[in-house]
Amino acid sequence: MNKILIVEDNELNLKLMKDILEAQSYYVDTASDGQDGLAKAMENEYSLIILDIQMPVVSGYDFLRAYDKKVPVIVVSACAMENEVNKAKELGCVDYISKPIQLVEFLNTVKKYVNK
């Protein structure tokens, strides 16, 4: 079973992404801040991590610096300036989606990294 972790501090965005993925039969785990997300990522096995950048306690950048597993990380963030995208990719994210998310782009990006 493919298990996806969503790390997002905005409750509405978190629920939206979770609902979209569960409707596609993915198992979804969530964390509402970077610290909790990093702990879950280190303790559990995931096929994919979806990560926001601007979060309290541990930012998405700090998450990427600390996370050392070989699971793909997709950043979904309102910070879509070229330098922000490049920084996230330099720190190890495999793809970057700008908010607000577009359904088809979001699902196609997830499917690139997770086989059902």
State the residue range of the domain holding 14.
Answer: 3-113
Dist CA 109 CA 69 (whole Å): 20
Domain count, the chain: 1
Alpha-carbon distance 39 to 95, whole Å?
22
CATH classification at residue 94: 3.40.50.2300
pLDDT at position 19 over 80: yes
The side-by-side arrangement of strands in the sheet containing 48-51 is 27-31, 3-7, 48-51, 73-77, 95-98
pTM of the model: 0.95
pLDDT tens-digit map of 96-116: 999 999 999 999 999 999 975
pLDDT number for residue 57: 87
Going by the DSSP 8-state scheme, the letter that residue 77 receives in this structure is E
